[in-house]
Amino acid sequence: MTRTANRHTRSEQRARPADASPRPSEQRDQLFFDQIIEAAVLDAALKQTAVVNPGDKFELVFRNLLEALFVERMDQNEEIFARFMNHKSFQKVVTSWLSSEAYRKFRVRTDDAIEDLVPTVSQL
């Protein structure tokens, strides 16, 4: 088999239908990222940062916390930890993604809290 054929075969092996169940490693990775987001959302200082800043400014603060959260959890997913620490392009993508997810969660919770405080017409 030629080299091109090998690559094609591997690509076909990796291709999965969109509705296919995630592989165990993908589930483990997603759980790892979900836990990082949830830990970040519990940080009171980060919450305050999200409330008073736009997303891009929030990401600057989030980046510092994110690295600490990765270090705390390095034994839970050593492969993702090593990739995050050693590959700047991966680190940038993950930081941006997790930052936007955490920011969105903070903003949704803040918006919900404000709605709870504002009386509706029927309550007046």
Q: How far is CA 4 from CA 10, 11, 14, 97, in A?
A: 10, 11, 15, 34
Residue of 31, 33, 74, 65 lying closest to 47 (CA atoms): 65
Residue 8 lies in a domain: no
Residue 11 lies in a domain: no
SS3 3: helix
Instruction: Provide the pLDDT for residue 65.
Output: 94
Q: What is the pLDDT of residues 46-101, one digit of tens each?
A: 999 999 999 999 999 999 999 999 999 999 999 999 999 999 999 999 999 999 99
Token output for 110: 């803040």
Residue with tokens 């980046």: 63
Residue 12 lies in a domain: no
* 107, 50 contact by CB (below 8 A): yes
Q: In the chain, how many domains are there?
A: 1
Residue 77 lies in a domain: yes
Question: Range of 76's domain?
Answer: 23-118
Instruction: Provide the pLDDT for residue 11.
Output: 41
Q: Which helix (H) or strand (E) holds 55?
A: helix 55-72
Residue 111 lies in a domain: yes
Return d(Cα 61, Cα 45) in angstroms, integer. 10
Structural Rg of the chain based on CA atoms? 20
Residue 5 lies in a domain: no
DSSP string for 20-42: SPPPHHHHHHHHHHHHHHHHHHT
Comparing 63 with 24, which gets the higher pLDDT? 63
103 pLDDT above the threshold of 50: yes
Residue 82 lies in a domain: yes
Residue 15 lies in a domain: no
